[in-house]
Amino acid sequence: MANPEDTPKGQHFLLSPECRTLTVLDLARMRDATAYDWFKRLRWPETEGEPYCLKCGTLRCHTMSRNRFKCTEKTCKAVFSVTSGTVFHARKLSFKKMLIAIWFSANSVKGKAALQLSREIGVQYKTAWVLLMKLREAIAWRREEMVLDGEVEIDGKYAGGHIRPENKAEDRIDRRLKKYQNMKRLCALAIRQRGLGAQTFTRIIRDEDSNAAWAAVRDHVSREATVFADEHGSYNDLAGLNKLERVNHSKAYQTDDGTNTNQVESFFSRVQRAYVGIHHRFSLKYFDWYVAELAWREDCRQVSNRSHTFQVLGRALSRPTSRYLCGYWQGNKPPDLIWEG
């Protein structure tokens, strides 16, 4: 992994050679057998790519046709492949094409649109969409055991629920009033840790309220951490959990002593750019996965694109088959990915 500290002073990491350590030309020249070896090494890192039985754990496995393996234990005899039981289970794309698709996704700064990926690797839109969503779901799993420390900032951002205004001014109503608002909108709650190599925790909630903020800080922020928040009333109770610093944005973006929430605000600005410039809209059903993916991109900005690709592939191969996206186009749909408390 490239070290940002090795980048010459005055040069941004994204402009340095350490950022671009894997190109699409490298992947185009790669054989499918080489891509297959990458899959094996990241699926079984403990044995440096040597397969072991997924049921009994034995290392004694026969190699069969079509890149399959068979356990030699008499009581097992399981047949499996490098993608069995992962998000790539029952895959139809070649290993090289999947690796190129992962590279295109990981190499995109603000995310990847399924329509664009379908044109780049020559697959149907449905194939590209499901593949990208499987990668987002695998990335979202990293939040489960995330605990932030040091100085952290918390804030919320609403999305969805836009209502097109009437053509004539006299027919328009004040959408700022709650009775005229669209209740379909959702809030992305983000907690961002300060510092290089820090982490960003995200969660989708129905409203920016004190219960959601309390639960997120309780479960994913160390008690020794200092929390920075704006003047929103939902963060008042956090003083009972952690040391709390506030900034009133109606008066200043930063207080005289330097208190601010600029880091989490900058994350939300990138979410907005992905929303407007890449996807044009987020399906609120999958808003959680989109924001989790963008949080991962935020945390890995100072990492080479080779490491990006390996991280995404490794996470995808370490997660079980998606219960929501396997058979998606046959009618298998997930529930709304919203935290309800």
pLDDT, mean of residues 283-289: 93
Residue in the block written with tokens 């009775």: 179
Residue 2 pLDDT more than 60? no
Q: Does residue 242 fall inside a structural domain?
A: yes
Q: Does residue 267 fall inside a structural domain?
A: yes
Using one digit for the tens of pLDDT, what is the confidence trace for 98-145?
A: 999 999 999 999 999 999 999 999 999 999 999 999 999 999 999 988
Q: Does residue 283 fall inside a structural domain?
A: yes
Q: Rounded to two decimals, what is the model's pTM?
A: 0.91
Using one digit for the tens of pLDDT, what is the confidence trace for 148-189?
A: 999 999 999 998 877 788 899 999 988 778 788 777 889 999
Distances (CA, A) of 130 to 66, 191, 217: 24, 28, 32
pLDDT, mean of residues 208-220: 96
pLDDT band, residue 9 (cuts 50/70/90): low
Residue 4 pLDDT more than 80? no
Cα 317 to Cα 193: distance, rounded to the nearest angstrom: 27
Q: Does residue 228 fall inside a structural domain?
A: yes
CATH, residue 241: 3.30.420.10
pLDDT band, residue 216 (cuts 50/70/90): very high
pLDDT at site 160: 83
pLDDT band, residue 3 (cuts 50/70/90): low
Under 8 Å between Cβ of 140 and 147: no
Q: 10 CB contacts (<8 Å, ≥6 apart)?
A: none
Closest among 195, 194, 192 to 203, alpha carbons compared? 192
In terms of phi and psi (left: phi > 0; alpha: psi -120 to 50; beta: otherwise), the region of 275 is alpha
Q: Does residue 207 fall inside a structural domain?
A: yes
Domain that holds residue 229: 147-161+177-288
Q: Does residue 284 fall inside a structural domain?
A: yes
Residue in the block written with tokens 């899959």: 39
Cβ neighbours of 67 (radius 10 Å): 15
Total domains, the chain: 1
Cα 200 to Cα 297: distance, rounded to the nearest angstrom: 10
Query: Mean pLDDT for the chain?
Result: 92
Q: Does residue 151 fall inside a structural domain?
A: yes
Distances (CA, A) of 33 to 39, 88, 97, 106, 310: 10, 17, 12, 22, 17
Using one digit for the tens of pLDDT, what is the confidence trace for 249-275?
A: 999 999 999 999 999 999 999 999 999
Q: Does residue 225 fall inside a structural domain?
A: yes
